[in-house]
A and B are shown apart, each in its own frame.
Chain A
Amino acid sequence: MPLPSDFQFSQSSLQNYVSCPRRFELLYILKINYPAPVSEPVLEYEQHIERGRIFHQMVHQHLIGLPPDTLSSMELDPILSEWWQNYLKAAPTTQMPLKRCAEFSLSTTLSGWRVTARYDLLAVEPRNKAIIVDWKTSITRPKADVLKTRIQTRLYPLILVEAGKTLNEGYPFAPEQIELQYWYPAFPNHPQHFRYGPEQYTKDRGYIQNLIAEIANTPENGFPLTSNTKLCQFCMYRSLCKRGSTAGDWTEMQSSYEAEDFSVPEFQLDFEQLQEIEF
């Protein structure tokens, strides 16, 4: 089955492909909703994800001007509260350019397909520099050389170069004007910085283009299962692929960074359509 013509790639879908092509096929092409647990204990994992969501939301609220005191008065669990206080104390955005775009999406076309990136924060000084900030709410902090190979690290600066001119007075950003920063509320003093440059840009562009072309040209049933069977512990399709029955421990999943972005887009109910109900 070919990709639908309106298919959009993202860092998450590309990372899923790199981790397991079959998973990409099941999730994005065949759109199979397979509701097995992703990891155990389910509630703890869910709480962790929820904590991350709320942290992102609070930073967004802070960046659009809601008073920090008001945000601090919200009831938070101890871990989230510590993250939030770490954020306020470290004030990671203070030294950044003043033009801020939080939860901002950019998209471009590569190898004939639309590719999109959603940035937690873009701090821009037009015609001079742009800092991409991604809030990382994992409980571990991976090493720089692991992060460097992640699709997100390679794709986000690339898309900013390709699609960011509306943020830069109509001029494309030069790769050397871009920096990517991963900021960890659990490790506030140890953010990871990646400077971008023309050489990396050329390399990344070629890599992503090839990856997309490879996916687009893969025939039906041509998506192989991952050889890293450890990942299957954290995949809801494990029974469909005959790769086990029980989910792995989520803390292990966190320590293996490779698995963290083996992420599952939630199959949300379409609440708005529910208004159509027959009364």
Chain B
Amino acid sequence: MAHLTAQQAAISTAPLNSHIFLEGPAGSGKTTTGVARLQHLLESGVPANTILVLVPQRTLAFPYLEAIRQPDLPPGGEVDIITIGGLAQRIITLFWPIIALPAGFRHPQKPPIFLTLETAQYYMASLIRPLLEQGYFESVKIHRNRLISQIIDNLNKASAVGIPYDQIGQRLKSAWIGDPAQKTIYDQAQECAIAFRRHCLENNLLDFSLKLEVFTKHLWKSFLVRKYLTQRYRHLIYDNIEEDVPIAHDTVREWLPEFETALLIYDSGGGFRSFLGADPLSAASLRESCDESVLFSGSHVMPPALSEFRISLTNTIQSKKALSLSSEALSSFTIEHHRFYPEMEHWVCSIVADLVRTQNVSPDEIVILSPFLSDSLRFSLMNRLNEYEIPSWSHRPSRSLRDEPATSCMITLAKLAHPQWKMPLSRFDLRCALMQSIAGLDLIRADLLAKITYKETKPEEGLSSFDRIQPAMQERITYWAGERFEQLRSWLAAYQRDAEIEPDIFFSKLFGEILSQPGFGFYNNLDAATVAAKLIESAKNFRRSIPKNRPPCGNIYIPMIEEGILAAQYLISWESAPRQAVFIAPAYTYLMSNRPVSYQFWLDIGNLGWWQRINQPLTQPYVLSRRWNENTVWTDAHEFQANQESLSRLVSGLLQRCKKHVFLCTAAINEQGSEERSPLLHAIQRVLRHTYALREAEDGV
């Protein structure tokens, strides 16, 4: 067990009938206390299977998961560590036969189908396609995929908050004061949400929103289910409650009296997931349901100098009295200015290299953060760090698999194997696929092979044989490459002689029988194997979520990937992340990993992305929250205030997770080539101006 302060020890060993609300800032030792409490319960003989650890997001469960796997724990059952969504899915699966009919599902005798975000997007895309053709959302200038995800987001927020799903549009409209045409957009978004929900109920499909609703409105109210849950779980540890949604808080509020012990942990500066429906105020209201409330202060992570900087910066953002900084505070951060973005990237990587090489800092003690992480930024940083031989990894939730060369290769080969799909395939696509498929094949030879063996105008003919190429050209391409090409071509030809199979099975066989064999591009290439695995999993999820008794679905699946509707998945899950590598991520993603580090680099602090919320014409996180008064309209003043608060929370959260030093980097010309000056940059400048003005005054200058 970690060394605990007296306050932490008192909570972790509190009597076995206590209901405690523990709050404090990040780094004050709350989760350590939660873990110690879990260990104490187990060591006191509490059956592990009666303990429920609830967290709002899987990444926040890691300290608890690690704790229950330690060999010094006593033998016994297993603790359940889960999110409210995970619990909902588990209970729906278990009680489906008795709940499907009352919950309104059309075919209760058939099993439920849980949708992933991507399969939900597929269904939503299918439903709105005819509406788009009729002119819906005509004035909205965003990509169709973002339209789809925002309608799904509306449903998720409504269920998370407890707003009836058919009142989303009305709520959004009543807060709107701009162009009246926007109200039509909200109506149309509402229509799509209703159509989607009906389709789900007709077909036993459960997206995240319906899963929450079925759990809270039906299962939680069922005597049998409640008896099952309350008998099963007698002890609760609920961490990071401020990042969870109000409907989870409501459930816990009702459930609390049934628990013998409960420890609720609240991060007073949190609420970073508010754009996903998290509600810190609703979380804080659970304090009243506990017998005891304990406040932690101070930080075991952030040094006093950074703490001083945090207070001054957040005060300035919130337009409170600016505080000047001491010399120690000034030395806790570095501001580095560059004119061009690549210069800034180069500087960041050189400093990282210096920290790792000269100062022996472990790479996992360093994070590089930006408001958003574009593919080019990610690629560029990882490449530069690679040149310094420093391992790095990135985690961007919305990164799409379709952009991966391994995915493109497999899709191209799928098109070649299925000429009946009549999907366009360019020579360029083929060239790239051949380079990926055949180990060591260079661009020139791949281009020659593609040019000679494939006719874009006659795709039905597929690839012609290497044997038919003139010997001089064969020699140029090399017989070695030709042999591999022939193996690939023969495999595709043999496949075409049999009946078409489902896309995931096709990809799996393609991978196993050809691409991962010695001499081919995926052999011993674990990154390509990981991408292939994700693609296959995506195709499998898709196949399982659509009705059975139909022809193979490759001709539906492939266009969905190419449009970016499907396969928008994580490339690296948190669990399989490299343990000693520099982490490159959007700032909010880093915050939700809740992992303090010694050094943080904030890129392009002049970027408005640090401050303003992204354009979401179909949704509005503040209006679709429990805090919003329905009789109010959303004004620019609200928007400004919300952005200020969110910036303040963000910088505070980041600094509270920094153990040593922050590098604040600016670029006069940003990634897009324009000049921006964000309120974050202004605030930092104000803090410095105030500090130096005061010093000058004190020095009598």
Contacts and interface: CB of A to CB of B under 8 A. Distances in A.
B536 interface: yes
A42 B116 contact: no
Nearest to B211: A271
A91 to B, nearest CB: 19
Contacts of B518: 239, 242
A43 to B, nearest CB: 7
Nearest to A170: B45
Contacts of A31: 576
A238 interface: yes
Interface stretch (A65-73, A201-209, A249-257): A65-73
A166 B505 contact: no
A33 B70 contact: no
Interface in B355-374: 372
Contact of A166 (B47, B117, B118, B575): B47
Interface string A227-253: 000000000101110100111000000
Interface in A257-276: 267-276
A35 B515 CA distance: 11
Contacts of A43: 502, 505
A66 B222 CA distance: 13
B505 A42 contact: yes
A128 interface: no
Contact of A275 (B114, B117, B118, B533): B117
Contacts of A170: 45
Nearest to A103: B94
Contact of A240 (B66, B505, B516): B516
A278 interface: yes
A245 B516 CA distance: 9
Given A114-B70, A116-B78, A274 B537 contact: no
Contact of A73 (B71, B109, B526): B109
A220 interface: no
A64 B94 contact: yes
A247 B534 CA distance: 20
Interface in B84-129: 85-86, 93-95, 97-98, 109-111, 114, 116-118
B516 A57 contact: no
A32 B529 contact: yes
Given A112-B71, A240-B516, A273-B397, A35 B511 contact: yes
The secondary-structure label for the interface of chain A is loop
Given A74-B97, A104-B49, A240-B516, A273 B537 contact: no
Interface string A97-119: 00000001111110011101000
A61 to B, nearest CB: 6
B150 interface: yes
Given A64-B94, A276-B592, A277-B149, A113 B516 contact: no
Contacts of A61: 94-95, 97
Interface stretch (B287-295, B449-457, B474-482, B566-574): B566-574
A263 to B, nearest CB: 17
A6 B110 contact: no
B7 interface: no
Contact of A8 (B69, B275, B397, B508): B69
* Among A32, A42, A43, A108: residue with most chain B CB under 10 A: A42
B72 interface: yes
Contacts, number: 189
Contacts of B512: 35-37, 236, 238-239, 245-247
Given A70-B97, A107-B76, A274-B116, A54 B111 contact: yes
Contacts of B69: 6-8, 114
Interface in A51-108: 54, 57, 60-61, 64-67, 70-71, 73-75, 104-108
Interface in B512-541: 512-514, 516-518, 523-524, 526, 529-530, 532-534, 536-538, 541
A61 B149 CA distance: 35
Contact of B57 (A6, A269, A272): A272
A242 to B, nearest CB: 6
Given A7-B69, A36-B511, A54-B111, A163 B76 contact: yes
B560 interface: no
B408 interface: no
* Among A7, A35, A242: residue with most chain B CB under 10 A: A35
Contacts of A245: 512-514, 517
Interface string B490-520: 0000000000011001011101111011100
A70 B93 CA distance: 14
Contact of A273 (B58, B111, B509, B516): B58
B505 A105 contact: no
B97 A271 contact: no
B508 A35 contact: yes
Contacts of A66: 95, 97-98
Interface in B555-569: 568-569
Given A107-B75, A116-B78, A240-B524, A275 B156 contact: yes
Interface in A171-224: none
Given A71-B97, A74-B111, A109-B71, A270 B570 contact: yes
B374 to A, nearest CB: 11
B616 A279 contact: yes
Contact of A6 (B58, B65, B574): B65
Nearest to A239: B516
A36 B516 CA distance: 9
B102 to A, nearest CB: 12
A37 B65 CA distance: 31
B569 A105 contact: no
A125 interface: no
B597 to A, nearest CB: 20
B436 interface: no
Contacts of A271: 85, 114, 116-117
Interface of A: 5-8, 31-37, 42-43, 54, 57, 60-61, 64-67, 70-71, 73-75, 104-109, 112-114, 116, 162-163, 165-166, 170, 236, 238-240, 242, 245-247, 267-279
Given A32-B526, A107-B78, 16 more contacts: A31-B576, A34-B516, A37-B505, A37-B512, A75-B110, A106-B76, A166-B45, A166-B76, A267-B533, A270-B570, A273-B573, A274-B117, A274-B118, A274-B570, A276-B592, A277-B149
Q: Top 5 nearest A-B pairs by Cβ distance?
A: A36-B512, A163-B75, A108-B75, A105-B78, A6-B69
9 contacts: A6-B69, A33-B533, A106-B78, A116-B78, A165-B75, A170-B45, A247-B512, A272-B58, A279-B149
